[in-house]
Structure 1
Amino acid sequence: MVTTAQWRRLGRRSLFVAAATASALVLAACSGGGAPAGEGADPQKLEYLVNAENGNIPPVLESMASGVCEAENEALPLEINSIPQADLDGQIQLLVGQDALPAMFAAGGTPAEGAKLWNAGKLVDFDESLEELGVLDQIEPGAISTIKALYGGAFSFLPFQYNIEGIFYNKQMFADHGFEEPKTWDELLEVAEALKADGVLPFTASGEQGWPITRLLSGYIFRSLGPDALRKVADGEAKLTDPEYVEAAAAIADLGAKGYLNENIASLDYDGAQNEFLEGNAAMFYMGTWALTAINDPEGNKIGADNVGFMPFPAVDGGAGDIGQYPSNVGLPSTFGSATYGPKVQSWVKCITENFGEMSLVEQNTISGFKVPDEVWAEQPQLTQDVHERISGSTESVLWFEALFNAKAGQDSSKNVSLLVTGQMSPEEFMGLLQTDLDAG
């Protein structure tokens, strides 16, 4: 017998299958890239469809609607609608099939789907539009580079969040041992060995989540093989089982073999790993700059924000990558539909571009890809200012290990990487598993 709950699941699945089919037909009938600016017709309201888990962007937009963007809101009222992130891809596909995309909406969880919308002409070309609005220079170049890398080479989404990644380190621990920031992988290993010999845990990372470890792996790959190394894998020009990729996996496996990582790494979750660093039990913590929220919290950070430094993933001797190419991401970015991109919507976009960065930083302690006045940055904690300088000085970014993977490869990567660093899976086995997933499509 089929239960009511099962019928609901079946009905929901059928809805998304139908949506996907309709979306495929619509997208197949279209060609080209994003639509030119100014060709859409204004809707009755600025509807924003966003994932329900996003607690940062909607409050800032609501604050803007009653403040700096009040005139734009009177002309075109903001209306925010939320949906669970797990349902977002399916809902967007359904709306595409109905030719009913809202004026503004968050990206789904799969960048490839966003690229399809761009290729079908459903999204705005922000390179063109922001240039015409006179505000293209208000976007950090590194954020644009990240979006283009994720979404098929197009600046088709806006960076409401922007994070770079690197190694946070305990400055006092480094000073006590006479260390400066290591610039190369070999120097980093020398620091780790000296710390371990003195009874200090060099690195903390979450094996339960997995991705904090695979970030180390992609960091090594980008530094050794260059910024396009994982794009080549995605395009079929290289394989993760090629010797140079396996060598990168072996380098990360050695961190575990040499005792540079937590003994309980397989069961350690994100908060536990972060606390190991903030409580002074580990010298280094690889993470994105979203961790600044916790670092700048005096209650949770027992070592003190002034005692935390930030450095890029080091260079690999003889490698093709550059230490200035920071891994970066834009969270779950948002975009605007081309069909409703009329003058009133464009006025909203201009106001957002000019003001969102400052308001997000001040009200939510969140860094975005929109530029912020220097005087506002000067009021932020020193480490936050340091991150800002690095973001402003970066013109090229790289992604992360699973960014271009299919769902199965991404799941297996996070699930099994703890086995790699605990010696339960060899580098050849780990990379072979993921390549098999990629080959299966």
Structure 2
Amino acid sequence: MKKVIVLATSALTLAACAPAGSDTQQPTAGKKEISFLVFETPNLTPQYWDEAIKRVTDKHPDIVVKKLVAPSAGERNAYAKQLLASGQLPDVMQAIAPSGLAEGGNLYAWSEEELRNYDYPHSNPLGGKIYQLPYNSQPTPLVYYNKKLFAEAGITAPPKTYAELVDDAAKLKAKGTNPFVVGGGGKDAFAAGYLWMALVGADVYAKQPDFLVKRRKGEVRFSDPLFVRATQKFADLVAKGYVDKAGLSRDYPSTEKAFLDGKGAMYPMGSWFAAVKAPFDVGVFAWPTDSGETVVPSYTGGGPIVNAHSKNLEAARTFALEFNQNAANNDVLVKSDAAIIAIKGYRPPQMGPVYNATLEVLKSGKAVNAFTVETGDDSLLPGVGDKVFALAQEIIAGKADGAAAARALDQEWVKAGGQ
């Protein structure tokens, strides 16, 4: 039987009928067509997605895939909600948070049998059900650093405590080196949030791992002292000149390039950065706590979610499961995006020292949730994550301190329907 795959290469925009950027060719008789929403990054290129899709359709030639591309990685969750609102929810969506979609009965809940091959089959439940395949663990963020710039500033080892981190930042600045590279420009506002995410993990979740569960019940507030202190540390780093404000004009790819070009010593980023080839030696450490305890914000999920009302639901489920469990797909994902695959029996290909160091950091510390990345009952209310990133931009710009940002976040929480 001839193998067929329908691919689209342009970014998707909303339209009154079929989404722009998708191929409207009709599948051959007897074949099942599904749409697949993906997103592109410097690591996850159009070629990556096309080849990964083809590996699945080669095994299941009765499935035809219409690839759809979100406008940006940071906008993919909001974009999926736009498609739902316009009656165009795709059949399968990769790494889209189910919160805000599943509650209305729009997503397929995976069965225990379908989840049996996963290391952490019950990650991120919503109402006791699993809507997203939990196939990839991602520490978010760790701190990747330029060993050459550290050495030039007289820093011989990564910091173990927050006080040591601040001291190292002062040494780097005194040498004329920007301590922290951040982003947040254009459509990639999320790139402004990693310092805040790191601080919430180290200072809030380490003490109250169920903080967002309590926030949903109205038992805690963002304006409580614990959260404000963590946020004020972010503002203090900015006030001391340790954060490169030029990052607010950089999109995500440009932010990564700035670090690779040596425009800063430390780069708080998710574990996927470990796949990048740098022109200098890169080290990695977990964001330090005051006490020196190692805390690693991490998230296991990232797999497909499936439209419960898909016209070809069986094909959509089959495609999603095979896309995640295909060994060749996972090998490529490890090499291209430094994925830490959470599937039983999977053995990753040989990787470089930065990936191996990332694994060691993950294993060395206390695992907590990754702020803004949660997708289950302990996640932010729908839409609030985008407000976090906007507030992070305000902090980097010097327009908000910890208390003001926390109060604003409480206000956004209430607007989103929370207590």
Instruction: Give 1:62's aligned amino acid.
Output: K
- Return closer, same or farther for 1:342/1:84 CA change in 2, 3 Å cut-off: closer
Aligned residue pairs, count = 369
Instruction: Give 1:253's aligned amino acid.
Output: A
Structure 1 position 197 matched with structure 2 position 184: no
Instruction: Give 2:147's aligned amino acid.
Output: K
Measured against aligned partners, the alpha-carbon deviations of 1:112-158 in whole angstroms (never above 9, x if no partner) come to 234326xx495243444332xxxx2xx344xx56x416x45543322
Which stretch of the first structure deviates more once superposed, 394-403 or 205-214? 394-403
CA contact (8 A) 1:126 1:157 kept: no
Structure 1 position 49 matched with structure 2 position 49: no
Measured after TM superposition, the shift of residue 168 of structure 1 is 0.5
CA distance in 2, matches of 1:337, 1:393: 39
Partner of 1:157: 132
The counterpart of 1:237, out of the listed 216, 219, 223, is: 219
Structure 1 position 183 matched with structure 2 position 175: no
CA distance in 2, matches of 1:49, 1:414: 29
Q: What SS does the aligned partner of 1:204 have?
A: coil
Partner of 1:278: 260
Q: What SS does the aligned partner of 1:130 have?
A: coil
CA contact (8 A) 2:183 2:189 kept: yes
CA radius of gyration, larger in: 1
Partner of 1:168: 144
CA distance in 1, matches of 2:320, 2:415: 43
Partner of 1:316: 290
CA distance in 2, matches of 1:350, 1:393: 32
Which stretch of the first structure deviates more once superposed, 170-179 or 426-435? 170-179
Structure 1 position 349 matched with structure 2 position 325: no
Structure 1 position 401 matched with structure 2 position 383: no
Any residues of structure 2 matched to 1:290-309 within 5 Å, and which?
A: 290-293=272-275, 295-296=276-277, 301-303=278-280, 307-309=281-283
CA distance in 2, matches of 1:349, 1:207: 33
- Return closer, same or farther for 1:246/1:218 CA change in 2, 3 Å cut-off: same
The counterpart of 1:80, out of the listed 56, 65, 68, is: 65
RMSD (CA atoms): 4.1
Which stretch of the first structure deviates more once superposed, 267-276 or 401-410? 401-410
Partner of 1:65: 57
CA contact (8 A) 2:333 2:339 kept: yes
The counterpart of 2:108, out of the listed 101, 119, 123, is: 123
Instruction: Give 1:188's aligned amino acid.
Output: L
Partner of 2:6: none
Q: What SS does the aligned partner of 1:264 have?
A: helix
CA contact (8 A) 2:201 2:368 kept: no
CA contact (8 A) 1:185 1:316 kept: yes
Structure 1 position 382 matched with structure 2 position 368: no
Instruction: Give 1:401's aligned amino acid.
Output: T
Which stretch of the first structure deviates more once superposed, 272-281 or 386-395? 386-395
Which stretch of the first structure deviates more once superposed, 282-291 or 362-371? 362-371
- Return closer, same or farther for 1:345/1:375 CA change in 2, 3 Å cut-off: closer
CA contact (8 A) 2:284 2:354 kept: yes
TM-score (norm 1): 0.69
- Return closer, same or farther for 1:234/1:108 CA change in 2, 3 Å cut-off: farther
Partner of 1:18: none
Which stretch of the first structure deviates more once superposed, 195-204 or 388-397? 388-397
CA contact (8 A) 1:124 1:336 kept: no
Measured against aligned partners, the alpha-carbon deviations of 1:289-322 in whole angstroms (never above 9, x if no partner) come to 23334x22xxxx332xxx011222222339xxx6
CA contact (8 A) 2:184 2:251 kept: yes
- Return closer, same or farther for 1:140/1:10 CA change in 2, 3 Å cut-off: closer
Measured against aligned partners, the alpha-carbon deviations of 1:20-47 in whole angstroms (never above 9, x if no partner) come to xxxxxxxxxxxxxxxxxxxxxxxx7564
Partner of 1:439: 414
Instruction: Give ranges in structure 1 of 5+ residues lacking alignment.
Output: 1-8, 16-43
TM-score (norm 2): 0.72
CA distance in 1, matches of 2:349, 2:67: 31
CA distance in 2, matches of 1:10, 1:330: 27
Measured after TM superposition, the shift of residue 207 of structure 1 is 4.1
Q: Which has the higher helix share?
A: 1
Measured after TM superposition, the shift of residue 205 of structure 1 is 0.6
- Return closer, same or farther for 1:284/1:264 CA change in 2, 3 Å cut-off: same
CA contact (8 A) 2:132 2:303 kept: no
Q: What SS does the aligned partner of 2:193 have?
A: helix
Partner of 1:228: 210
